[in-house]
Amino acid sequence: MRRVLTAVLCFCLCVLSASTPRANAAASPKSLQIYFIDVEGGQATLVVSPSGESLLIDTGWPGYEGRDADRILAAAHQAGLKQIDYVLITHYHRDHVGGVPQLVDGIKVGTFVDHGPNLEDSEVTRADYAAYEKAIAGHAHVVVKPGWGLPIKGLQVQVLAAAGDHLTKPLPGAGEANSYCGAEPAAAEDNTENARSVGVLITYGHFRFLDLGDLTKKKELEIACPNNLIGTVDLFLVTHHGADLSNPKALDWALHPRVAVIDNGPRKGSSPAAWQIVHDSPGLEDLWQLHYAADSDKANNIDSERIANVKEPCEGKYLKVEAQADGTFTVTNARTGAQKTYSKK
Q: What is the pLDDT of residues 307-329, one digit of tens each?
A: 999 999 999 999 999 999 999 99
Residue 11 pLDDT: 56
User: Of 205, 199, 197, 201, which is closest to residue 171 (Cα–Cα)?
Assistant: 201
Gap between the Cα atoms of 89 and 78, Å rounded: 22
- Model confidence over 107-159: pLDDT tens digits? 999 999 999 999 999 999 999 999 999 999 999 999 999 999 999 999 999 99
Pairing of strands 339-342, 329-333: antiparallel
Residue 25 pLDDT: 43
Gap between the Cα atoms of 237 and 8, Å rounded: 27
Residue 19 pLDDT: 37
Query: What's 50's DSSP letter?
Result: T
Quickly list H helices, the chain. 2-13, 67-78, 94-97, 100-106, 123-136, 217-224, 249-255, 272-279
Fill in the amino acid letter for 226: P
Q: What are phi and psi of 253, to 5 degrees?
A: -75, -35
Fill in the amino acid letter for 206: H
Q: How far is CA 239 from the centre of its chain?
A: 8
Pairing of strands 45-48, 32-36: antiparallel
Length of the chain: 345
Residues 218/173, Cβ–Cβ less than 8 Å: no
Residue 345 pLDDT: 81
Q: Which residues of the chain have pLDDT under 50?
A: 1-7, 9-10, 13-29
Residue 9 pLDDT: 38
Gap between the Cα atoms of 59 and 95, Å rounded: 8
What domains appear along the chain, each with residue ranges and CATH number? Answer: 2-10+28-340 (3.60.15.10)
Residue 12 pLDDT: 52
257 preceded by a cis bond (ω within 30 of 0) = no
